[in-house]
């Protein structure tokens, strides 16, 4: 029943509903003596996920300003739990009054109702994507634990049926378009495509790719706390995610052992190096020292303007269309959320790895 | 560093290396008063995974006979931990002596070496697929917890580039071919295809699909212990798995909100029912009462006869080819393993669900 | 490193420093549909622990008003995490400036410094007894989970060398004196005794006894999650607690098997009943259905006016006397804190017990 | 329901019943590259706890020979789970047939019956003290993790009403008498006293004291994973333990703040040192670098020859006397068990401490 925490040594717990007074996260297990200032270390990541920044994301206006309530003394972490609070300011709860008793298809309305016998129907309550702001805040702390040598970056690589051209991949393009798209040509095409989706009140799915570089070899624990199983779990906890893959992923099913092998040679630095990275940087659940590559699929936003058939809590057939402010492609804002979750998984395993050091 | 346990209320811990005297699993948290007899309740599932049963799996001959050492009294579970032991009988450790110092591409050799500074190189040691026998044993206990109303079944739906024709899906065919293939036509074609792969000393990947039926609505916990995140984690802990998806999975990325919606109508029994199951039986991390559908991709077996470039522990470039007894498609035997892991996840959440009951 | 959470199915996480802007607790795993109103369900327990209510506790004035930030909708729990926030209002941080670099004997100053390399020295920071307000808030929610049939009560049974006379035990007296003392005669004597202690700037230890009645048989899990081991752990997490015992406790060491046996007879209701309760309501780690009896020892408050020898962070010998506002007997306020922890342990095991129910 | 595991990073899981074929323990999280040989590293500790070694412990004859089934390769740990197995050889299950349906006072018979609806009545089944052999085996591995600089020792300091004279404490005496008694005079007196107890078929309680020396400063995590709360939990998980205290323990309740303060001075080595150790080596849940001192009370063995009143599973009043082979003072064999649990707690926190190291 408890189930709002994530991680083992670097562990966070989130709380809050979409239309309550605030949401927040408690980050426990962050080492001491790390510089941590809300404005410069956390807020920039919040701003990246923040709604209302382009016409392709929900028009809800939330400053998402993070307050540090504990765990930091004179701008340094003290080793005690870091409580981060984000106030909700732009709730429009009345938008939801006419759907209070209806189960929105694709949403958690029906299952929460069945499980708990009660739900805060305003804006999805606890199951709202608003909760992901807390993940981004925790991820910002995780990045400080990882330090500057480990970099976690994400990109949108597919929107609806439209994929990027990987030969044009340029990380520098990520911030030049509202999609976190690394392919500038695709980004232009997507803008037109998504405008159409948005104007018709429809929605569309997407695929996000995350890359962590600078990860040392040896992160990840044996069989049931593998680095890849923890990453898969992490991504699948994000709202609307329906698939996760590492390295070659599902494509590996089509390959032969010869084609999928990552051969090795001694490098010029006298260290072993891999000649390819089909494995996505993880072998046997443990990081290889190469880039860690994760992709996840986000389903289309369930809130659409076209009426759908449903039932209500009284047991009547009815129709529903969702008028609230929503993302035509929730996959866009999933990029910083995925990055944050990846950073948290890596921070956790980095601390676990330290515990293994021999004297 | 610990990391050999899985689950919360229904929890198992595995131990053992491929070429040690035995492997085993301790199942903790199984309710009392469940009938449990090794021969009839566990052994049949072991036999399904057991190697050496067709020319498409490793020729290692292991009876995989399970002994119950504790937790059962007069053929009933007592609520205390159930210790299950499987002896290793057909180790041929000398097969491995010439690769003791070489890192096999695609295997965990390099990462275990880097992480632990030591490894039992015989047959993959701890990272061997042999460990999955323990999962199947635990899964057999989990099935008893689920009872007969909840059914967990798996099938191979793709081998290399060859997919089944879903219109021919027939669960009754599963046991009629050595691939757990539900499409009899595909099974025949696969036999020829895989014979070629096997004879050339190559290997190939596969995709497994799991379906759980009879699962009640309400299983799965909030944001970080979702039923789907726990399933994704579970599948990704299996050796060689590189991708997991639920319901429409990655295909959902290409759909619109209209196409992906599972609409609802009141059923003839006065209960709400879904008209489709794009979600794969899970919404907001909680089971809907529909079939739960999970797919996972298995990479091609890394042990192949074609020499691959690698390095050794002394820092020399070298080549390697793997002569041990291996599966040309490890995805086949992943079917019963995936089923077992799904059964364990469901048993865990079933017990967790019981804790939520209101008086 | 993480270590600010307690419990498994009913689980809470506390955060906050004595002199930060606020402290708080996130309660995760509380079942849904429980009536929960801050003013009537939580505040009364807070008030019981609140400082400044008599001359025998610290004169810091804190309203300790609890705000519910999440997890409750229309005065009912929703099954989502309950975030409770308590603002700090009466910090006098300057009281601490002259001891910032000195290690107060008996406090956590030295160990926090060594462990974390930094500490918020103001009022003890994280190690302040102020954190226990969060425990009381969590305990208030736990009481709602336990329901009215299970009652958790505590009393002060010894202060310094002065014990109560058990023949005069009267629960109704608890609220008639500032000590939670069940013996009115002792309470009068204690007042004089503690006045002397207080005026001399000294402090004294105490023993608290907790009794839970109405606990059903069967709570507590096998060997390592015993009800008594969880209770012992819970009490020992409270600041200044140095000993815990169940039932006869240390006195059992002096008894023979004949004297310590709790014999049984069938009761008039046709149920087995125990004739005595030397065991304190727990056998083999599992509740017997009798009253559960726990006692714990609280050391004297370390902050005293008499100078003590110590060292400072610069490595100099020095003396220290503590001028802040402190409790002459911190054991008094430990009564509601102990009750809260006991309620949390019982709520956790009550939920775990439900998971065991057979269909 | 699960509840047979202990620890976080250094974690063990025990299984097995008193009269089953074997008992065992899986130790997970042990670092790699530690020398570990069953005969020399584990067996000596087993022999210390082994029954039948003097007339003061049960006459059951068990060689308690430990087999290492996994996790060790060429006499070194590999970082994978260490499975240890101990066969049961001297069960006399028929001793128990006439008490199968009766609840032995002071035993877990009644509570197991109520909780699980079934129990293996032979020799106490899972709740037998036989399980503690597994703890000792795990503790032997923990000692290897701690290394030679950290020493964990235990002594019996009280048997029935008879305490040792602390001025005569000599660790070298521990192995010179069958009581692990550090006071040779007391040991002689105890022999007479316990002979009387034994001959009359009675039993008596005891107090064990554990001391860990060489523990570095900084072990123990914040509020809910304190070193002392983990130790209290650990001791209370041992069969028949009814009380735990750290340092001054319950005696601290009688002291003033002046008397209980551990003052500090800079030592000749330029390091801070404490002048006394009332705290028992732990402040704020964190080790101070001094000796860690824990005491726990063991109740008298419940199995005695004098008939006691009880009831049976059919609901009849009856009498019971226990004829099996039992310890007149189970506290004696609790000494090595307590040591083992202390070693496990310290090993766990030592690994956790390593995770905190800053780069």
> What's the Cα-to-Cα distance from A326 to each of A156, A202, A301, C266, rounded to whole Å?
19, 10, 8, 65
Does pLDDT of D357 surpass 70?
A: no
D1 pLDDT tier (thresholds 50, 70, 90): low
Does pLDDT of A272 surpass 90?
A: yes
The size of the B-C interface in CB pairs under 8 A is: 40
Q: Are B217 and B287 in contact (CB under 8 A)?
A: yes
Q: Which residue has the higher pLDDT, A63 or C230?
A: C230
- What's the rounded mean pLDDT across residues A54-74? 88
The size of the B-D interface in CB pairs under 8 A is: 163
- Tell whether residue B11 is among the known ligand binding residues: no
Contact call for D356 and A79, based on CB within 8 A:
yes
Does pLDDT of A358 surpass 70?
A: no
Contact call for A229 and B234, based on CB within 8 A:
yes
Does pLDDT of D172 surpass 90?
A: yes
- What's the rounded mean pLDDT across residues C147-172? 98
Q: Are D107 and D321 in contact (CB under 8 A)?
A: no
Average the pLDDT over each of A54-68, B61-75, C111-125 and give the range with the smallest value. A54-68
* Residues of A in Cβ contact (< 8 Å) with B255: 160, 204-205, 299-300
C359 pLDDT tier (thresholds 50, 70, 90): very low
- What's the rounded mean pLDDT across residues C176-186? 97
- What's the rounded mean pLDDT across residues A118-144? 92
Angstroms from D278 CA to nearest CA on chain B:
35
Contact call for B252 and A264, based on CB within 8 A:
no
Per DSSP, the three-state class of D173 is helix
pLDDT of residue C20: 93
pLDDT of residue A252: 97
Does pLDDT of B93 surpass 90?
A: no
Average the pLDDT over each of B138-147, C91-100, C131-140 and give the range with the smallest value. C91-100
* Tens-digit pLDDT profile for residues D224-276: 999 999 999 999 999 999 999 999 999 999 999 999 999 999 999 999 999 99
Contact call for C24 and A125, based on CB within 8 A:
no
CA angle A139, A145, A146 (to 5 degrees): 90
Around Cβ C149, how many Cβ atoms within 10 Å?
A: 10
Does pLDDT of A227 surpass 90?
A: yes
- What's the rounded mean pLDDT across residues C156-165? 98
Share of chain C above pLDDT 90, in %: 83
* Tens-digit pLDDT profile for residues C252-293: 999 999 999 999 999 999 999 999 999 999 999 999 999 999
* Tens-digit pLDDT profile for residues B167-202: 999 999 999 999 999 999 999 999 999 999 999 999
Contact call for D3 and C224, based on CB within 8 A:
yes
Around Cβ B87, how many Cβ atoms within 10 Å?
A: 17
What is the layout of strands, in order, in the sheet containing B11-16? B5-6, B11-16, B22-28, B82-87, B66-68
* Residues of A in Cβ contact (< 8 Å) with D352: 9, 355
Token duo for residue D95: 């001793």
Strand locations in A202-343 (E): 206-213, 241-246, 264-266, 272-274, 282-283, 286-287, 292-298, 308-311, 317-320
A250 pLDDT tier (thresholds 50, 70, 90): very high
- What's the rounded mean pLDDT across residues C196-213? 96
- Tell whether residue C14 is among the known ligand binding residues: no
Distance CA(B102)–CA(B316), nearest Å, equals 9
Does pLDDT of C251 surpass 70?
A: yes
- For helices A227-236 and B227-236, angle between their N-to-C axes, nearest 10 degrees: 160
Contact call for D302 and C243, based on CB within 8 A:
no
Containing D188, the helix (H) or strand (E) segment is helix D184-199
D62 pLDDT tier (thresholds 50, 70, 90): confident
pLDDT of residue B51: 74
pLDDT of residue D199: 92
- What's the rounded mean pLDDT across residues B255-261? 94
Ordered by where they begin, the domains of chain A are 5-356 (3.60.150.10)
Distance CA(B252)–CA(B275), nearest Å, equals 17
Average the pLDDT over each of A2-11, A48-57, A105-114, D72-81 and give the range with the smallest value. A48-57
Instruction: Chain A: list its partners (3+ Cβ pairs within 8 Å).
Output: B, C, D
Q: Are C178 and C327 in contact (CB under 8 A)?
A: no
> What's the Cα-to-Cα distance from D32 to each of B6, D73, D79, D85, D346, rounded to whole Å?
22, 10, 4, 20, 18
DSSP string, D255-308: SBHHHH---EEE-TTSSEEES--TTTTEETTEE-SS-EEEEEEEPPPS--SS-E
Q: What is the dihedral of CA C31, C36, C38, C39, to 10 degrees?
A: -150
From D207, D222, D261, residue closest to C105, measured CB to CB: D261
Mutate to test the interface with C, among B78, B146, B286, B354 (most CBs of C within 10 A): B354
Average pLDDT over all residues of chain B: 93
> What's the Cα-to-Cα distance from D119 to each of B73, B138, D111, D309, rounded to whole Å?
8, 22, 10, 21
Q: Are D161 and D135 in contact (CB under 8 A)?
A: no
pLDDT of residue A325: 65
Global pTM exceeds 0.90: yes
Average the pLDDT over each of B227-241, B314-328, C110-124, D33-47 and give the range with the smallest value. B314-328
pLDDT of residue A56: 82
Q: Are D15 and D352 in contact (CB under 8 A)?
A: no
Does pLDDT of C325 surpass 70?
A: no
> What's the Cα-to-Cα distance from C95 to each of C201, C322, D219, rounded to whole Å?
16, 9, 30
pLDDT of residue A95: 66
Q: Which residue has the higher pLDDT, C303 or D115?
A: D115
pLDDT of residue D95: 66
Does pLDDT of D65 surpass 90?
A: yes
pLDDT of residue B358: 60
- What's the rounded mean pLDDT across residues A60-87? 94
ipTM: 0.96
Average the pLDDT over each of B294-303, D8-17, D43-52 and give the range with the smallest value. D43-52
D324 pLDDT tier (thresholds 50, 70, 90): low
C337 pLDDT tier (thresholds 50, 70, 90): very high
From D2, D207, D236, residue closest to C232, measured CB to CB: D236
Containing D349, the helix (H) or strand (E) segment is helix D334-355
pLDDT of residue C190: 97
* Tens-digit pLDDT profile for residues B39-56: 999 999 999 888 777 888
pLDDT of residue B359: 46
- What's the rounded mean pLDDT across residues C202-219? 97
Angstroms from C91 CA to nearest CA on chain A:
15
Contact call for A357 and D352, based on CB within 8 A:
no
Beta bridge partners of A25: A14, A84
Token duo for residue D337: 């068990």
| φ/ψ bin of C257: left (φ > 0), alpha (ψ from -120 to 50), beta (otherwise) | alpha
């Amino acid at each position: 029943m408890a189930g709002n925490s994530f991680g083992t040594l670097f562990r966070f717990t989130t709380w809050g509903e979409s239309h309550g007074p605030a949401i927040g996260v408690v980050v426990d297990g962050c080492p001491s003596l790390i510089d941590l200032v809300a404005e410069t270390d956390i807020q920039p990541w919040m701003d990246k996920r923040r709604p209302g920044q382009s016409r392709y994301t929900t028009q809800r206006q939330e400053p998402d300003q993070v307050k540090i309530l504990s765990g930091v003394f004179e701008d340094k972490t003290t080793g005690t739990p870091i409580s981060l609070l984000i106030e909700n300011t732009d709730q429009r709860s009345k938008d939801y009054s006419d759907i209070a008793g209806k189960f929105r298809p694709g949403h958690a309305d029906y299952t929460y109702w069945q499980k708990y016998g009660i739900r805060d129907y305003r804006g999805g309550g606890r199951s709202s994507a608003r909760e992901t702001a807390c993940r981004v805040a925790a991820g910002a702390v995780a990045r400080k634990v990882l330090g500057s040598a480990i970099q976690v970056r994400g990109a949108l690589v597919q929107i609806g049926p439209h994929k990027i051209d990987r030969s044009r991949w340029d990380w520098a393009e990520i911030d030049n378009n509202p999609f976190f798209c690394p392919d500038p040509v695709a980004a232009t095409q997507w803008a037109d495509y998504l405008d159409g989706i948005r104007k018709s009140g429809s929605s569309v799915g997407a695929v996000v790719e995350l890359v962590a570089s600078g990860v040392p070899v040896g992160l990840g624990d044996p069989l049931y706390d593998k680095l890849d199983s923890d990453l898969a779990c992490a991504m699948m906890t994000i709202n609307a995610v329906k698939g996760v893959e590492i390295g070659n992923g599902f494509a590996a099913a089509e390959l032969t052992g010869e084609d999928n092998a990552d051969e090795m040679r001694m490098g010029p630095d006298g260290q072993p190096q891999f000649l390819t990275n089909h494995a996505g940087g993880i072998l046997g659940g443990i990081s290889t020292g190469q880039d860690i590559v994760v992709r996840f699929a986000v389903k289309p936003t369930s809130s659409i303007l076209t009426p759908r058939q449903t039932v209500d809590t009284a047991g009547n057939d009815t129709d529903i269309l969702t008028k609230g402010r929503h993302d035509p492609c929730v996959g866009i804002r999933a990029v910083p959320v995925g990055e944050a979750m990846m950073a948290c998984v890596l921070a956790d395993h980095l601390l676990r790895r330290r515990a293994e050091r021999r004297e």
